[in-house]
Amino acid sequence: MQFHHTTLPNGLEVVAELNNDAYSVAFGFYVKAGARDESGDVSGVSHFLEHMAFKGTERFSAEDVNRIFDEYGADYNAMTGEESTVFYSSVLPEYLPQTFELQASILFPTLRQDDFDMEKKVILEEIGMYEDQPSSVAYDKAMQLHFSGHDLGQSILGTVASVSGLTSEQMRSYHQDHYRAGNIVLAVAGNTDWKTVLELAEKHCGHWPAGVSPRSTAAATHAAQTEFVVKDQCQQEQIIQLASAPSCTDPRRFAAELLTVIVGDDSNSRLYWELVDPGLVESAECGYYEFEGAGTYLTFLNGDPETTRENLETINRLYEAVNAEGITADELEQAKNKIATRIVLRSERPMGRLSSLGGNWLVRREYRSVEDDLATVRGVTLEDIRQLLKEFPLMQTTTVGVGPLDKLPA
Amino acid sequence: MSQHVVKHATLSNGLTVLVETMPAVQSAAFSLLVNAGSVYDPPHQNGTTTALADWTARGAGNLNSRQLLAELDRLGIQGNESAGTQHMVFRASCLAANLPAALRLYGDIVRKPHLPEEEFEAVLSGVEHGLLAIEDEPRQKVMVELLRRCYPHPWGQPSEGTLEDLPNITPESVRNHFERCVKPDKAILGVAGNVTLETVLPVVESVFGDWTGSNDQTVPTGTVSPVREHLDHESTQTQIGVAYPGVAYADPEYYAAWAAVNVLSGGMSSRLFTEIREKRGLCYSVYATLNTLKDRGQVLCYAGTTSERAQETLDVLRAELVRLGEGIGQDELDRCKARAKSSLIMAQESSGSRASSLARNWYHLGRVVTLNEVRSEIEALTVQKVLDYVHKHPAQDFSILTIGPAALK
């Protein structure tokens, strides 16, 4: 494994972790443009724009884009989140130049009006699809409530109304503001050489407009709120609860990751033994999510509507016990081994390394090898967990339910 | 392309061991198929196998439930037990050095589960919760219900079980299922990763060597004919499932069938994506896939779309399936081949996916299938061969299932 880094004159950050033993090479453009960067009247534009990229440029039509990626057998896609839009491909090394050119060029799409109108229908279908998935509805609503008044509360997909109302001019202007070289990281992992990476980056990205767009990372304040979205047709009640946790630049994020594995992993965690193993619920999990300037503990519960209150109280008792007494050395050791294996297995494919490489550089301008991550995880102590819990106790601050309930039963 | 070495051995009790050595990875994975799947669920007790799968991990050998999961975590073993149609499936991934320990722990789970009576209620409750979760996800439910309608009983019955049969399942029936079905004969253990047959075989011998018996039940297979059905559900989208006959993996025309389905739905330049999503904006998600049992196969198609546009979606979908018989472009086949080449090469980066493929191929064909063999089969395809297949197995006799606010025509 060999790490390389450079910054092009226009500000594009280029990072690579190269490995000649890999069968493939994965590359991705990490654009600092997500739901939190949208002003209210263009909600959903980052995600819609991600779709529009695949509609092509002057040179490549929409059909060309799909056809050429397939001709080279690329495994490619894109995703939009609260904080970034990522375009990625995994290809055989011999097809890197061709797919790189295409992938790079579609970051600056033509945004033809007829393509825009057609793709809007697809986005509205995507919104419809997620509306029928209770867990998606719960997540969206919970983020909206927990971060109300803060830009992290903005929906990734937007609403039927906001997307219907979007114009291609608004999208163009959003694109001009955010798709600037200083806002983008190019990450490459796997089997190629640094000279090739540099040549491709200079040739296909060197002319991109320079500049960055500022993002406010003001702290969020959270008032305890509860909301139930009634879906009578559901058999079970899905609950999402959010609470404050370390942000993505906080060194305590590794402790937070370990803590949530111990408390709320999908197997052999405290929530598992308390609620899932006895068959009381379909699932009960706790996870840690990091953002710029904020982080969240996310509690997920899915089970019989009648027992929802009882189960939430059980979770509350369990959290209070952890907050007061911490966790055991044995639990910490098991969780470290669990996470270490996950890191190693995920890292075996260039695609797995890419997400770590690109994500770390985009938000922290930091390179972390697999060995770095393993060493950090191994180094977390019981005292670190105690300190974490002191400042970021496990809480159930914001609660959203989706299912038959209109409130918590008495 | 360097070729991984695959070696195999069959123990005297009928368990076949396949090992693919992958020098470039640090991990190892296995996939153990035991001839004890949901087709052997007793009549009106669909869900027996899935209950057994959950129950087996609640203590085995000299470890109770908590000790067992703690030990798996301590060794960094990511494993799971599940019910398939023909098999119970036990899978695990870990660092290669921990593979022997993983095999020992899973040896106990498979052969010496405690099946504690006091936990049975929790097991069934877990199965029920899983089924209720499917009820709340119509996208998933439509495919479960489609399979049930396009394969003859019991080959289409959901391996997850059914809500109506759950009350009939007792601890005795699940124990019986374990006693009768969980046997080494016809069991297949696929192993892949930074390990060799020479080092793995002694461990397998010591864990499974003295296991005996076979599951000799024959499964009475019913008949099936195409159906049209609608299930009412209050939702924004209508879920559409369409199935029609394909061929089994063991069929000489399998690769032609695979290519035909890939022209329809392999990559974003394929026909369903282009015609339904790109040109008409009818769907976010639309696909077709070739699903195969040992002796037959079905092409399964899915589309989810806002209810007002569902009729048009179904009409275009059916028209595209039929239009395949009118011709296939050389460029379309070339793209299928290119995608296959990439994915076959990249498959060598994942020990978990290789372990599963080894075991699955052995089940269907009774022999090792190397990635090079798959590659040359695909290279040998011509447009004419694929079209001949499509003409011999045209898209007809559709089973169509919809879930949503209103039935379609």
Nearest-angstrom CA–CA distance, A287 and A300 = 8
B122 neighbourhood in chain A, CB within 8 Å = 277-279
Mean per-residue pLDDT of chain B: 96
Q: Is A70 on the interface with B (CB under 8 A)?
A: yes
Domain residue spans of chain A: 2-205, 225-403
* Residue pair A367/A353 in contact by the 8 Å Cβ criterion: no
pLDDT confidence band for B2 (50 / 70 / 90): low
Kindly determine whether residue A133 and residue B94, on different chains, have CB atoms separated by under 8 Å: no
Which CATH class for the B228-404 domain? alpha beta
Mean pLDDT of B21-41: 96
Name the CATH topology of A2-205: Cytochrome Bc1 Complex; Chain A, domain 1 (3.30.830)
Domain residue spans of chain B: 5-208, 228-404
- A383-387 long-range contacts, Cβ below 8 Å, gap at least 24? A384/A252, A384/A255, A385/A255, A385/A258, A385/A259, A385/A326, A385/A327, A385/A332, A386/A326, A387/A252, A387/A255
Shortest Cα–Cα distance, A235 to chain B (Å): 6
Q: Which residue of A has its CA nearest to B274?
A: A63
* Structure-token match 């048009």, residue found: B312
Task: Choose which CATH entry (3.20.20.70, 3.30.830.10, 2.30.30.40, 3.40.50.300) describes domain B5-208.
Answer: 3.30.830.10
Q: Which residue of A has its CA nearest to B347?
A: A23
Tokens of B346: 């990249």
* Residue pair B90/B110 in contact by the 8 Å Cβ criterion: yes
pLDDT tens, chain A, 410 aa long: 899 999 999 999 999 999 998 999 999 999 999 999 998 789 999 999 999 999 999 999 999 999 999 999 999 999 999 999 999 999 999 999 999 999 999 999 999 999 999 999 999 999 999 999 999 999 999 999 999 999 999 999 999 999 999 999 999 999 999 999 999 999 999 999 999 999 999 999 999 999 999 888 888 888 889 999 999 999 999 999 999 999 999 999 999 999 999 999 999 999 999 999 999 999 999 999 999 999 999 999 999 999 999 999 999 999 999 999 999 999 999 999 999 999 999 999 999 999 999 999 999 999 999 999 999 999 999 999 999 999 999 999 999 999 999 999 87
pLDDT (0 to 100) of residue B4? 85
Nearest-angstrom CA–CA distance, B192 and B175 = 31
A340 neighbourhood in chain B, CB within 8 Å = 76
Name the 3-class secondary structure at B334: helix
Nearest-angstrom CA–CA distance, A333 and A81 = 32
- Of B266, B277, B345, which is closest to A23 when you measure between CB atoms? B345
Q: Is A371 on the interface with B (CB under 8 A)?
A: no
Q: Is A131 on the interface with B (CB under 8 A)?
A: yes
Kindly determine whether residue B122 and residue A132, on different chains, have CB atoms separated by under 8 Å: no
Question: Is pLDDT above 70 for B1?
Answer: no
Mean pLDDT of B1-11: 85
Q: Testing the interface with B: which of A345, A346, A369, A370 to mutate, by most B Cβ within 10 A? A: A345
ipTM of predicted assembly, 2 dp:
0.94
Q: CB neighbours of A247 closer than 8 A, spacing ≥ 6?
A: A253, A290, A291, A292, A293, A294, A295
pLDDT (0 to 100) of residue B232? 95
CATH architecture of the domain covering A225-403: 2-Layer Sandwich (3.30)
3-state secondary structure chain A: CEEEEEECCCCCEEEEEECCCCCCEEEEEEECCCHHHCCHHHCCHHHHHHHHHCCCCCCCCHHHHHHHHHHCCCEEEEEECCCCEEEEEEECHHHHHHHHHHHHHCCCCCCCHHHHHHHHHHHHHHHHHHHCCHHHHHHHHHHHHHCCCCHHHCCCCCCHHHHHHCCHHHHHHHHHHHCCHHHEEEEEEECCCHHHHHHHHHHHHCCCCCCCCCCCCCCCCCCCEEEEEECCCCCCEEEEEEEEECCCCCCCHHHHHHHHHHHHCCCCCHHHHHHHCCCCCCEEEEEEEEECCEEEEEEEEEECHHHHHHHHHHHHHHHHHHHHHCCCHHHHHHHHHHHHHHHHHHHCCHHHHHHHHHHHHHHHCCCCCHHHHHHHHHHCCHHHHHHHHHHCCCCCCEEEEEECCCCCCC
Kindly determine whether residue B306 and residue A128, on different chains, have CB atoms separated by under 8 Å: yes
- Of B70, B74, B129, which is closest to A281 when you measure between CB atoms? B129
Answer whether B5-208 and B228-404 agree in fold: yes
Sequence length of chain A is 410
- DSSP for B360-404 reads HHHHHHSS---HHHHHHHHHT--HHHHHHHHHHS-S-S-EEEEEE
Q: Which residue of B has its CA nearest to A62?
A: B278
B275 neighbourhood in chain A, CB within 8 Å = none
Per-residue model confidence as pLDDT tens digits over B119-166? 999 999 999 999 999 999 999 999 999 999 999 999 999 999 999 999
pTM of the predicted model as reported, rounded to 2 decimal places? 0.96
Q: Is A130 on the interface with B (CB under 8 A)?
A: no
Mean pLDDT of B303-330: 97
A71 neighbourhood in chain B, CB within 8 Å = 334-335, 338
Q: Is A61 on the interface with B (CB under 8 A)?
A: no
Kindly determine whether residue A73 and residue B268, on different chains, have CB atoms separated by under 8 Å: no
Beta-carbon pairs below 8 A across chains A and B: 185
Distances (CA, A) of A345 to A264, A269, A275: 21, 21, 29
Distances (CA, A) of A274 to A271, A279, A284, A318, B27: 5, 9, 9, 9, 32
Question: Is pLDDT above 90 for B17?
Answer: yes
Nearest-angstrom CA–CA distance, B401 and B282 = 18
B130 neighbourhood in chain A, CB within 8 Å = 282
Shortest Cα–Cα distance, B70 to chain A (Å): 7
Torsional sign, CA B190, B364, B85, B179:
negative
Answer whether A2-205 and A225-403 agree in fold: yes
CB atoms within 10 A of CB B407: 14
Per-residue model confidence as pLDDT tens digits over B281-299? 999 999 999 999 999 999 9
